[in-house]
C-alpha cells in the first residue's frame, strides 16, 4: 500500500536530529511538524520571519500578526524570535538552516527540482522556493511518486521550468525513499506493501536499488 | 522634525500617477490598510508596486488592482487573486516575479546604499536569464540590482513622532527593509506615541528613514488563511 | 583675529537646518553640538550605532555601554535609537545623513580630503572617515587654515594619502568660510579682523574671492 | 539544543592556534571580556583577529597582543595601543586597516550568505588598490569580499539558553553582525535567562546563529574616554 500523506510526513520526521533548525514548505512538509520524534528538539523556521514556530492556535486565539509562510495562523514556542525577510533569507543563504522539506511537481535524477510554474497555466510565482533550493544545504522533497495522470514525477530531466539545479538530496514519496546520487535515484526503502518492481515501473529517471534496500518503518 | 501628518490622505497626497511604490506586508499580514484606502480614493494610476504579494480580490493591493491603478507588480507570489489573474492574462497588467529572498535583499540593498548584491537564488533557472553570473568560492551567484522606489509605504505596530518604528510578530516581514529603502517613507502605525516612550534598544527602523508618520485607524487585519486546532 | 575652535564650531552650527540628521567627527566638529541655534531641531548620529546623541553625562552618571564614535561617554535624548554598525554605515551610504562635519589635515581645491594617515609616522587607521567622505551628501570640513608650521592646509592637491575624492563641499577655518567650486576655494566670508589679503597669502590652492564676500558673524 | 556551556574556558576550548576570530566591540565597549581572558590563559597564538579596534595596552585585545598571540589584526582604527605600535613597527604584527563601514558590511555579508558587496568607501584612495571597481548609476564602488571567520566571539547584554541575543546601547556595534557571520559563534552574556523570558520582537540575533552561550562574570566594562559635564 502506498503511503498516505501523513505517513510520508512521518517518514521524513525520522530524518530530524536533535538541535536541527528546519524549514517546512507548504503541503505535506507542513505535516512533518506533527511527527517530530520524542526527545528530538527542533526549531521550525518560517521564511516570513519567524524561528520557533509552534502549532496552529486554538480556535479564537488566532493572531492576524502571526502567520507562517503559507499564510496560516500559527503560534510561537518559548525561545522564538521574529526578524525581517532579509535576515530570514540571509540565514537560509548562509546555511544556518539544517534541513528544508519541500513539495515538488518534478524531481530529476541529478537533483534538479521543478515546483513553481506550469507554462500556459497561471503562474503564481516562486515565493521563497528558489531561495530555499539555491541555498539550503540539505533538502528533502516530499511528494507523490506520480502525478494525477499516473505519470512519474521522478524524471531523467525536468520538463517544467526548474526551480533549482542539483540541489535535492533525498526524495520521500508514497512509494519509497530515494537518495539522489551520481547514479540517479537510489532506492533505499520501499513502502510497506509496495514492491521494488512497482517502483521501477513508476520511476522514469535513472534508478538504482540499494543492496540493503528495506521496507520502510512508519 | 515635523513628521507627523494628520492621516493617510495627507501622507500620500503627493504620490503621482506613474510612481513606484514599495508596500510592506506578507500576504495580508502587516499591510498599510489606511494608505491603500487613501490611494484607492485618490485614484492615481499607472503605479508600479513592489510588494511580496498582491492582496486578495477585495483586500490589500487587490483593491488597487480592482480600480486598475497598478501598471506593474513586482512580487514573489501572486496566487490569491482572481482579478489579478484576469488582468495579467488580458495584458492589462505587467508582472515581474522574483524570488522572495531576492525581493527582500534588493530592498535591503537600497536602504544600505549598496547598488547591487550577489545572490544565489535562481541560478540555472529562467530568473537568471540576461543577468550577470559570477563564481565566488565555487558557487555561482547572480548580480541583482537594488530597488529604486519613489515611496515606501509600511504599517508598523508602534511608532513615535520622530519616526522610530517597532513591528509586531510576522507583520514585520518586508516592512523594515522597505521603510529603509524608500526615497520618501510613509509609516502608518497602530500606536503613535510621544518621543521617549520607545526603548531605543528595541527600535526596528530608526526615524532617520521615516519621513511621514500617522496614527492609523479602523484596522481590519484580515486573516487570509485561518487555521486552528481543536481544544482538548 | 583668527577664530578660536569654539568660533569655528559656532560658525558651522549656522549651517544646521531644522530636521537635519548630522554626524559630527572628533575634535572641532564635536563642539558644533554646543552651538545648535535656538529653534533648530537636529538629531546627532554617532557611527558606532546611535541616533539621538545627547550631551556628555554628569559626573557619576557615565554608562560604559553608551559611548560615541570618539569613545567618549555620552547620553541619549528622547527619541534616540541604537543599531548595529552595518545599519549605521548603511544609512550614511544611502544618503540619509544630511550633514557631516569632519576635521582634516589637508583639503584640495577639487574637494579631495586627507585626514587619516601620515606616512612614516604610525598609522592609526581611517576608522569611519573613508565611509563618511565617500557617502555623505554634504560634508563640511572644520580645521585650522594652516598647520603648526604655518603652511597652508588648503592646497592645490593633497600631499598626504587621501581619504576621499571630490567630496568636500565647504571648509570653515579660523580665517574664513570657503565653498568648493569648479574654480577652487571660493571665499564667501572672512573672520572678524582677518583680511582677504591674509587669506590669499595663506591659501595655496586655487582661490577666488566672492564678489559679495563679507565679514563672518559669530 | 545544548548550547549553554559552563564558562569561557569551555566555550573557547577548541579554538586552535592559527584560527581567524571575529571579536565584537567598539573600543572597549561591548567586548567579550571573559573569552579574551580565557584565550590569554589558553595561550593559543598565530591568531587573525577581525575587530574594529585592538584594545588598549592592558585591556581587551591588548591583553592578547601583550602575550603575542595575534599574528594579524583586521581593524579600522588601532590608535590607542603602544604595544600594538611596537609590534607593528618591529614587523611582529601584520595589520590590515579597512574602513569601518566596510568592516561592518563584510561581516554582515557573511551572515547573510552574500559572497561580496559593492561599497563606496575608499574609492580613489590606497584602499582601492588592486580591487575591482564598477560604476553603478554614475558612482564608483569597490568589490569587497565577505569575511570568513572560524569563530565569532561576542558579548551580549541578555541571552537565553536557545542562543537568542539582545544588546544594550552602543555595546551593540559590530557584535550582532559578527555573531551572524561566525562558522562557530560564542556568546558571553551579562544575563543568561531561560527560554521564553525574552520578547521575540526584541531579539537582535536569533539563536540559530549562536552555537555556544554562557553566563559571563566579573565584568569590568572599562571606560576608555570618560567625558563628563559639571552639574548645575
Report CB contact under 8 Å: A90, D195. Answer: no
pLDDT in tens, A97-113: 999 999 999 999 999 99
CB < 8 Å to D161, chain A: 79
pLDDT of residue A202: 98
What is the DSSP code (8-state) at residue A67? B
A156, A109 in Cβ contact below 8 A? yes
Helix or strand or coil: residue B111? helix
CA distance D115 to A39: 37
Provide the β-strand partners of residue D66.
Answer: none
CA distance C201 to C210: 16
Q: Is D93 on the interface with C (CB under 8 A)?
A: no
Q: Is B167 on the interface with C (CB under 8 A)?
A: no
Whether A204 has a pLDDT exceeding 70, the answer reads yes
Q: What element of type H or E holds C93?
A: helix C85-93
CA distance A11 to B169: 31
Name the minimum distance, in Å, from the CA of B180 to any CA of chain C: 8
CB < 8 Å to C80, chain B: 200
Pairing of strands B70-75, B94-97: parallel
pLDDT of residue D232: 67
Q: Is B119 on the interface with D (CB under 8 A)?
A: yes
Q: Where would I find the H helices in chain B?
A: 8-11, 33-42, 61-66, 82-89, 100-111, 175-181
pLDDT of residue A123: 77
Q: Is D170 on the interface with C (CB under 8 A)?
A: yes
Q: What is the 3-state secondary structure (H, E, C) of C42-91?
A: CEEEECCCEEEECCCCECCCCCCCCECCCCEECCEEEEEEECCHHHHHHH
Report CB contact under 8 Å: D196, A95. Answer: no
Residue stretches of chain B with pLDDT short of 70: 1, 232
In chain B, what percentage of residues exceed pLDDT 90?
Answer: 93
CA distance D76 to D106: 12
Q: Is B206 on the interface with C (CB under 8 A)?
A: yes
pLDDT in tens, C65-116: 999 999 999 999 999 999 999 999 999 999 999 999 999 999 999 999 999 9
Query: Among B105, B114, B119, whose Cβ lies nearest the Cβ of D118?
Result: B114
From residue C188, how far is each of B68, C9, C172, C177, C210 by CA, in Å?
Answer: 54, 17, 10, 6, 5
- Record the cell numbers describing residue D223, joined without a space: 571606560
Residue D104 φ/ψ, nearest 5 degrees? -65, -45
pLDDT of residue A39: 93
Q: Residue A214, class by beta-carbon neighbours within 10 Å (0-12 exposed, 13-18 middle, 19+ buried)? A: exposed
In chain C, what percentage of residues exceed pLDDT 70?
Answer: 100
pLDDT in tens, D137-155: 999 999 999 999 999 999 9
D116, D143 in Cβ contact below 8 A? yes
* Residues of A identified as active-site: 47
CA distance A68 to B148: 28
- Record the cell numbers describing residue B89, joined without a space: 492574462
Domain boundary assignment for chain A? 5-215
A170, A15 in Cβ contact below 8 A? yes
> CB within 8 A of B25, min separation 6: which ones?
B31, B32, B51, B52, B53, B60, B155, B171, B173, B174, B175
CB < 8 Å to D196, chain A: 78-79
Name the minimum distance, in Å, from the CA of D172 to any CA of chain B: 9
Name the minimum distance, in Å, from the CA of B137 to any CA of chain A: 13
Whether C121 has a pLDDT exceeding 80, the answer reads no
CB atoms within 10 A of CB A38: 4
CATH number 3.40.1080.10 given to C5-215: yes
Chains that touch A (3 or more CB pairs under 8 A): B, D
What is the DSSP code (8-state) at residue B98? -
pLDDT of residue B232: 67
* Residues of C identified as active-site: 47
pLDDT in tens, B4-36: 999 999 999 999 999 999 999 999 999 999 999
Q: Report the residue of C44, C69, C84 to disrupt the D interface, i.e. the one with the largest count of D CBs within 10 Å.
A: C84
Report CB contact under 8 Å: C130, D122. Answer: yes
Amino acid at each position: 500500500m502506498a503511503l498516505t500523506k501523513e505517513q510520508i510526513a512521518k517518514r521524513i520526521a525520522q530524518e530530524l536530529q536533535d538541535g536541527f533548525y528546519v524549514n517546512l514548505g507548504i503541503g505535506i512538509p507542513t505535516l512533518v511538524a506533527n511527527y517530530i520524534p520524542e526527545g528530538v528538539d527542533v526549531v521550525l523556521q518560517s521564511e516570513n520571519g519567524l524561528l520557533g514556530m509552534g502549532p496552529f492556535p486554538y480556535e479564537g486565539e488566532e493572531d492576524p500578526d502571526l502567520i507562517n509562510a503559507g499564510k496560516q495562523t500559527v503560534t510561537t514556542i518559548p525561545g522564538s524570535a521574529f526578524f525581517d525577510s532579509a535576515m530570514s533569507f540571509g540565514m537560509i543563504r548562509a546555511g544556518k538552516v539544517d534541513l528544508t522539506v519541500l513539495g515538488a511537481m518534478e524531481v530529476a535524477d541529478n537533483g534538479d527540482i521543478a515546483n513553481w510554474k506550469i507554462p500556459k497555466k497561471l503562474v503564481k510565482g516562486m515565493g521563497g522556493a528558489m531561495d530555499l533550493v539555491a541555498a539550503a544545504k540539505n533538502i528533502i522533497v516530499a511528494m507523490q511518486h506520480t502525478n494525477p495522470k499516473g505519470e512519474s514525477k521522478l524524471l531523467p530531466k525536468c520538463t517544467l521550468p526548474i526551480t533549482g539545479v542539483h540541489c535535492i538530496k533525498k526524495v520521500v514519496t508514497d512509494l519509497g525513499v530515494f537518495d539522489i546520487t551520481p547514479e540517479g535515484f537510489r532506492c533505499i526503502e520501499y513502502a510497506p506493501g509496495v514492491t521494488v518492481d512497482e517502483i521501477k515501473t513508476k520511476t522514469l529517471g535513472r534508478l538504482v536499488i540499494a543492496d540493503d534496500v528495506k521496507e520502510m518503518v512508519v | 522634525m515635523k513628521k507627523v501628518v494628520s492621516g493617510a490622505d495627507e501622507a500620500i497626497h503627493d504620490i503621482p500617477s506613474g510612481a513606484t511604490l514599495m508596500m510592506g506586508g506578507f500576504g495580508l499580514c502587516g499591510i498599510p490598510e489606511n494608505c491603500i484606502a487613501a490611494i484607492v480614493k485618490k485614484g492615481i494610476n499607472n503605479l508600479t508596486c513592489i510588494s511580496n504579494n498582491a492582496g486578495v480580490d477585495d483586500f490589500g493591493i487587490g483593491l488597487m488592482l480592482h480600480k486598475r491603478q497598478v501598471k506593474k507588480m513586482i512580487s514573489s507570489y501572486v496566487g490569491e487573486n482572481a482579478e489579478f489573474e484576469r488582468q495579467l492574462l488580458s495584458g492589462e497588467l505587467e508582472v515581474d516575479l522574483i524570488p522572495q529572498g531576492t525581493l527582500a535583499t534588493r530592498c535591503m540593498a537600497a536602504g544600505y546604499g549598496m547598488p547591487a548584491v550577489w545572490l544565489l537564488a535562481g541560478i540555472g533557472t529562467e530568473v537568471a536569464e540576461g543577468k550577470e553570473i559570477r563564481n565566488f568560492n565555487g558557487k555561482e551567484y547572480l548580480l541583482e540590482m537594488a530597488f529604486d522606489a519613489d515611496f515606501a509605504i509600511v504599517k508598523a505596530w508602534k511608532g513615535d513622532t520622530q519616526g522610530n518604528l517597532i513591528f509586531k510578530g510576522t507583520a514585520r516581514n518586508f516592512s523594515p527593509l522597505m521603510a529603509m529603502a524608500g526615497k520618501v517613507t510613509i509609516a502608518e502605525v497602530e500606536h503613535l506615541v510621544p518621543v521617549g516612550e520607545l526603548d531605543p534598544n528595541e527600535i526596528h527602523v530608526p526615524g532617520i528613514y521615516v519621513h511621514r508618520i500617522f496614527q492609523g485607524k479602523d484596522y481590519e487585519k484580515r486573516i487570509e488563511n485561518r487555521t486552528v486546532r481543536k481544544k482538548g
